[in-house]
Amino acid sequence: MRSVLEEASEILSGPIGSPKGRRRLAGLRRVEVSAVAETRSDTGEIERLRAALGERSLVLVGMMGAGKSSVGRRLAMKLQMPFADADVEIEKAAGMTIPEIFASRGESDFRDGERRVIARLLAEGPKVLATGGGAYMSAETRERVGRMGLSVWLKADADVLMRRVRKRSNRPLLKNPDPEGTLRRLIDERYPVYAHSDITVLSRDVPHDVVVGEIIDALAQRFSLDGAAE
């Protein structure tokens, strides 16, 4: 799809004095003005959302494969906020990968480190924070997120999650003879806890930017910002 500038260049190189050329150029001007107005509107909404968040972080929770990291990065860019991935920060702190932590230290030690890292990341200031699937199961972490952030659950159906996690081999909890059965058991255990999140958005097979837009809309509704600038 050509940009406005590319199409304008084509018009200017042709018979601009013709009625057809003038009509096309006028149409482009309307498109350009509309695009600028939409950008300003988006910028105003983002500024209001950030003001409403104040010193709180947006904390993405949900199962492995829900898209927390991918969506989180795009959400952070949209909101012009820092982004952090708790799993990446855990690996940096430990000096080893998460599968290696599970293998050498066990899940209990991993969860202790996870709580400490998330506490540190939240204390650093407002950001978009993607957390691991089991992080929100900690009552201590839920309480801290409730005080210092706003939780967003990316909820996905089991079939969607299974299709996604099959593509990667770095899921320690699924390294067993029945990964699908394990995933469904974890869903049964975790979904009632995830349901306590402040906002729930459906994660499904659509572009990540669609999910980002839905999170933005849900935030605007929560803060009653719809129409605030009208």
Give binding residues for ATP as ranges. Answer: 65-70, 171
Q: What is the DSSP string of 39-93?
A: HHHHHHHHHHHHHHHTTPEEEEE--TTS-HHHHHHHHHHHHT--EEEHHHHHHHH
Longest dimension (CA), the chain: 76
Is residue 125 a contact partner of residue 55, using CB atoms and an 8 Å limit? yes
Letter for the amino acid at 49?
L
Q: Where are the alpha helices (DSSP H) in the chain?
A: 4-12, 19-53, 68-79, 86-94, 98-123, 139-148, 158-165, 179-194, 208-222
Round to whole Å and give the CA distance between 161 and 174: 12
Binding residues: 65-70, 87, 111, 133, 171, 190
Binding residues for substrate: 87, 111, 133, 190
Is residue 149 a contact partner of residue 86, using CB atoms and an 8 Å limit? no
**Tokens found for residue 200:** 């729930």
Which helix H or strand E contains 150, and what residues bound it?
strand 149-155
Binding residues for Mg(2+): 69
Cα 167 to its chain centre, rounded Å, is 20
Cα 224 to its chain centre, rounded Å, is 21
